[in-house]
């Protein structure tokens, strides 16, 4: 029987279904993007070369999505899942270079039908961590193919995708360091260092990344933010970060690890006794080195690690896990019938259950937050008072990047802390157009004085609105203050001038 070049059709259908689950939920139950997605959409309006916290690629993608499709949860989740599909395609292509095609299809399914692939986009759509699932397997694929074929197209692909990885998140340096060590340690791959294509790819990467590096050196907020993650001083905190590292490696591979365990128990996956190929050894060394680097960063560098940072590392681990097994017994009937039916049925049921729970019995304040209605109400109040502005919505991260994002193109939204690191922030524009400050509580005056010293606030006002897409009777209250614009008159002044 001829081995398939593409995944089995049923397995591909389950992968497509998994990718569609968060899109369907965003369309029906969760209309509002989560905090990380709102933030990058707001930053992306200016297509900056540097952002307050990260390299700019996710902001560029977010800006393009908002400009073309709008800033709804459905639009950012759908684009995220398209990019995820590209990453899974590259993952499958790499696996085909490591194992036989049926095993490549099986392990693509096992990873692609993970909880993170199915649900992660609802919380982290277009965030840097999840975007790495597109670029990292592309870097690996083009390196492996360039090393074997020396074709210019693969060297070009290597240079472009490496730049994309670096412009997505700085921890791509961990991948590149581990790959470099693996190349040096694998005799068959050391020859790439003598090929002009390798240096062309490196030069292309440096050229593409240099536009960001120059901006980041001039305005170092993103670099400072990254270095601030290395802040854990006591061993108790470092052990907690180690626990997050282990948790991430396990949780982000579920339920795939359980599938592998069941397949091994039933005799469908047995240990491979074949000598490892050069490509397999390269992947093994790369993954070991990455984990050693991460352990060093956590235990000795004080990295404050959060489990979701493990997303690309978990994906790369599949490239080491798959060659450790070979297919045996009645694996085909299990992989192409039982497993497909189990995973497909599970995700259909999961989507239905989540939809029913959050539309009837419960609510999710962030993803059902009435940001559009809140922006409309606050702007109506502003327009009754002033004849121009506002220029900015500034304040707490959740409200500002929710309501401020929906306030129209004339308005920019900024979290307090992001003011210093946002190259597009203009104090003269702020003074002329005025501000909506979204904040409340016992410490809000201290925060305003710290980040917006000397601005005169109007008394606090509120607007309370029901959550969206749920029968649960729950509301969301926005607290806000105005800072009057200096570039125009108040409406009362205009009325009095007209009467005179």
One-letter-per-residue 3-state SS of the chain: CCCCCCCCHHHHHHHHHHHHHHHHHHHHCCCCCCHHHHHHHHHHCCCCCCCCCCCCHHHHHHHHHHHHHCCCHHHHHHHHHHHHHHHHHHHHHHHHHHCCHHHHHHHHHHHHCCHHHHHHHHHHCCCHHHHHHHHHHHHHHHHHHHHHHCCHHHHHHHHHHHHHHHHHCCCHHHHHHHHHHHHHHCHHHHHHHHCHHHHHHHHHHHHHHHHHHHHHHHCCHHHHHHHHCECCCCHHHHHHHHHHHHHHHHHCCCCHHHHHHHHHHCCCEEECCCCCCHHHHHHHHHHHHHHHHHHHHHHCCCECCCHHHHHHHHHHHHHHHHHHEEECCCHHHHHHHHHHHHHHHHHHHHHHHHHHHHHHHCCCCCCCCCHHHHHHHHHHHHHHHECCCCCEEEECHHHHHHHHHHCCCCCEEEEHHHCCCCCCCCHHHHHHHCEEEECCCCCHHHHHHHHCCCCCCCCCEEEEEECCCCCCCCEEEEEEEEECCCCCCEHHHHHHHHHC
Mean pLDDT along residues 378-385: 94
**Token pair for residue 88?**
């899974």
Q: Which of 66-70, 212-216, 324-328, 334-338 has the highest mean pLDDT?
A: 324-328
Q: Determine how many CB atoms are found less than 10 A away from the CB of residue 337.
A: 11
Please give the pLDDT value at position 7: 53
Burial of 61 (0-12, 13-18, 19+ CB in 10 A): buried
Mean pLDDT along residues 344-358: 96
Please give the pLDDT value at position 488: 85
* pTM of the model as a whole: 0.93
The answer, yes or no, to whether residue 1 has pLDDT greater than 70, is no
**Token pair for residue 36?**
């990380």
Please give the pLDDT value at position 224: 84
Rounded Cα gap, residues 196 and 192, in angstroms: 8
Mean pLDDT along residues 244-258: 93
Q: Which residues contact 443 (CB under 8 A, 6 or more apart)?
A: none
pLDDT in tens, 409-424: 889 999 998 998 899 9
Compute the Cα dihedral for 411, 415, 416, 418 and give only its sign: negative
Q: What's the whole-number average pLDDT of the chain?
A: 92
Rounded Cα gap, residues 250 and 314, in angstroms: 8
Q: Which residues contact 71 (CB under 8 A, 6 or more apart)?
A: 33, 38, 41, 65, 405, 406
Radius of gyration (Cα) for the chain, nearest Å? Answer: 25
Please give the pLDDT value at position 493: 53
Mean pLDDT along residues 148-166: 96
Compute the Cα dihedral for 8, 10, 14, 20 and give only its sign: positive
Rounded Cα gap, residues 242 and 303, in angstroms: 9
Mean pLDDT along residues 363-368: 94
**What are the sequence ranges of the domains in the chain?**
9-358, 371-499
pLDDT in tens, 460-471: 999 999 999 999
- Crossing angle (nearest 10°) for helices 35-44 and 57-69: 80
The answer, yes or no, to whether residue 454 has pLDDT greater than 70, is yes
The answer, yes or no, to whether residue 496 has pLDDT greater than 50, is no
Residue with the two structure tokens 């190929």 = 277
% of the chain exceeding 90 in pLDDT: 82
pLDDT in tens, 2-32: 334 345 788 999 999 999 999 999 999 999 9
Please give the pLDDT value at position 399: 83
The answer, yes or no, to whether residue 136 has pLDDT greater than 90, is yes
pLDDT in tens, 193-242: 999 999 999 999 999 999 999 988 888 877 888 888 898 888 999 999 99
For residue 268, name the pLDDT band (cuts at 50, 70, 90): very high
Higher pLDDT, 489 or 26: 26
Please give the pLDDT value at position 440: 87
End-to-end CA distance of the chain: 92
Using DSSP bridges, classify how beta strands 435-438 and 392-395 pair: parallel, antiparallel or unpaired.
Answer: parallel
C-alpha atoms less than 13 angstroms from C-alpha of 205 in its C-beta half-sphere? 21
Nearest residue to 402 (alpha-carbon basis) of 4, 8, 71: 71
Please give the pLDDT value at position 41: 93
The answer, yes or no, to whether residue 403 has pLDDT greater than 70, is yes
């Amino acid at each position: 029987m001829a081995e398939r070049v593409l995944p089995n059709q049923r397995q591909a259908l389950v992968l497509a279904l998994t990718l569609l689950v968060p899109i369907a939920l965003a369309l029906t139950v969760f209309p509002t993007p989560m905090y990380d997605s709102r933030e990058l959409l707001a930053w992306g309006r200016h297509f900056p070369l540097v952002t307050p916290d990260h390299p700019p690629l996710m902001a560029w993608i977010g800006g393009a999505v908002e400009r073309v499709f709008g800033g709804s949860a459905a639009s950012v989740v759908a684009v995220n899942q398209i990019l995820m599909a590209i990453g899974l395609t590259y993952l499958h292509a790499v696996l085909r270079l490591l194992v036989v095609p049926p095993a490549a299809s099986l392990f693509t399914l096992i990873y692609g039908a993970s909880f993170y692939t199915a649900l992660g986009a609802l919380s982290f759509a277009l965030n840097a961590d999840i975007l790495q699932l597109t670029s990292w397997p592309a870097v690996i694929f083009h390196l492996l193919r360039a090393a074997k074929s020396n074709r210019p197209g693969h060297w070009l692909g290597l240079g472009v995708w490496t730049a994309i990885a670096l412009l997505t998140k700085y921890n791509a340096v961990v991948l590149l360091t581990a790959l470099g060590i693996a190349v040096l340690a694998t005799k068959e791959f050391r020859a790439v260092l003598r090929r002009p294509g390798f240096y062309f790819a490196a030069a292309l990467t440096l050229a593409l990344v240099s536009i960001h590096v120059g901006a980041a050196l001039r305005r170092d907020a993103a670099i400072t933010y990254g270095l601030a993650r290395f802040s854990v001083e006591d061993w108790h905190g470092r052990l907690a970060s180690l626990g997050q590292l282990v948790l991430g490696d396990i949780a982000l591979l579920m339920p795939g690890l359980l599938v592998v365990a069941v397949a091994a128990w039933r005799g469908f996956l047995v240990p491979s006794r074949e000598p490892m190929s050069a490509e397999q050894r390269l992947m093994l060394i790369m993954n070991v080195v990455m984990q050693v680097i991460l352990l060093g960063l956590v235990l000795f560098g004080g990295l404050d690690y959060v489990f979701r940072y493990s997303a690309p590392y978990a994906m790369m681990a599949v490239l080491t896990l798959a060659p450790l097994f070979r297919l045996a017994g009645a694996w085909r009937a299990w992989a192409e019938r039982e497993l497909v039916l189990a995973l497909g049925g599970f995700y259909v049921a999961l989507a239905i259950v989540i939809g029913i729970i959050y539309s009837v019995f419960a609510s999710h304040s962030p993803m059902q937050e009435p940001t559009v209605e809140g922006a409309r109400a606050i702007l109506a109040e502003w327009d009754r008072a002033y004849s121009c502005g506002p220029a900015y919505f500034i304040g707490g991260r959740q409200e500002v990047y929710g309501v401020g994002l929906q306030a129209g193109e004339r308005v920019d939204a900024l979290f307090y802390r992001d003011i210093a690191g946002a190259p597009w922030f203009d104090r003269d524009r702020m003074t002329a157009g005025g501000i909506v400050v979204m904040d409340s509580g016992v410490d809000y005056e201290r925060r305003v004085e710290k980040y917006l010293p000397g601005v005169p606030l109007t008394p606090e006002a509120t607007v309370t609105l029901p959550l969206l897409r749920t029968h649960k009777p729950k509301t969301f209250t926005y607290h806000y203050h105005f800072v009057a614009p200096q570039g125009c008159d108040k409406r009362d002044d205009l009325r009095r001038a007209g009467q005179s």
